[in-house]
Amino acid sequence: MDDKASEIAAVADLLADIDITGCVVSADALHTQLGTARWLVARGLSTC
């Protein structure tokens, strides 16, 4: 990750190539963002 990049924005890039269907994804409080939650659910996470 670029030193000047946003960690919030980078979560999608980091998880994009991983099948998270049915998985538990854990992140710190920084990632309690509506956009991140919507992205994770759209990718197959059953609940946030």
In a domain, 23, yes or no: yes
* Residues spanned by the domain of 25: 7-42
In a domain, 16, yes or no: yes
Average pLDDT in the chain: 82
pLDDT of 17 reads 92
In a domain, 18, yes or no: yes
Residue range 7-15: mean pLDDT, rounded: 86
**How many structural domains are present in the chain?**
1
Question: Which pLDDT band holds residue 45 (cuts at 50, 70, 90)?
Answer: confident
In a domain, 27, yes or no: yes
Q: How far is CA 23 from CA 2, 13, 15, 20, in A?
A: 27, 17, 12, 5
